[in-house]
């Protein structure tokens, strides 16, 4: 009998993630399945909740609302900054992604959304923030995590 998914188990799964229009946003198809430590905060909460109690071989479709996914869009993370903040970068265009360190030494990723002269509009929200996420999941394997995996908080 296969063990139901629960905390401190390593789950291996294939997935396809789509938006509400059916566009594929991400998929493990054609590559190795994704492995995560259940209860370790390795995947978004809504997906982890939906997988709890499932077993090896299960297939399921999961809709995850923004609050249980990457959160709602936070307007405070959308800002206009001056070009001089991009010292040493000659050309700045919409779609470019950057990493910046905040005053409290946190690394924050952001994308340039618009350029108007010396005003650069940026968005530091997760690219999937505010979106309902639609997953097709196939559970490939469920196994007990090793002591090392449990202590590190992720599978090896």
Same domain, 18 and 54: yes
Contacts of residue 94, defined as CB under 8 A and 6 or more positions apart, other chains included, come to 112, 113, 114, 115
The DSSP secondary-structure symbol of 60 reads E
Same domain, 65 and 134: yes
What is the value of pTM for the model shown? 0.82
Same domain, 25 and 45: yes
Same domain, 142 and 102: no
Calculate mean pLDDT across residues 115-124: 94
pLDDT, tens digit (0-9, with 9 covering 90-100), for 40-89: 999 999 999 999 999 999 999 999 999 999 999 999 999 999 998 888 88
Q: Supply the CATH number for residue 81's domain.
A: 2.40.10.330
Same domain, 31 and 102: no
Same domain, 83 and 116: yes
pLDDT tier at 103 (50, 70, 90 boundaries)? confident
Domain containing 144: what range?
9-69+129-152
Count of structural domains, the chain: 2
| CB 69, CB 135: distance < 8 Å | no
């Amino acid at each position: 009998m296969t063990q139901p998914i629960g905390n401190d188990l390593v789950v291996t799964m294939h997935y396809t993630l789509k938006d509400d229009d059916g566009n594929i946003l991400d998929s493990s198809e054609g590559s190795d399945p994704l492995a995560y430590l259940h209860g370790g905060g390795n995947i978004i909460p809504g997906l982890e909740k939906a997988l709890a109690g499932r077993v090896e071989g299960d297939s399921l479709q999961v809709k995850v609302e923004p609050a249980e996914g990457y959160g709602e869009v936070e307007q405070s993370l959308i800002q206009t900054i001056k070009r001089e903040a991009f010292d040493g970068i000659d050309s700045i265009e919409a779609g470019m992604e950057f990493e910046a360190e905040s005053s409290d030494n946190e690394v924050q990723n952001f994308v340039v959304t618009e350029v108007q002269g010396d005003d650069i509009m940026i968005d530091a929200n997760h690219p999937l923030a505010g979106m309902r996420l639609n997953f097709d999941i196939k559970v490939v394997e469920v196994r007990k995590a090793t002591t090392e995996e449990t202590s590190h908080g992720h599978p090896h």
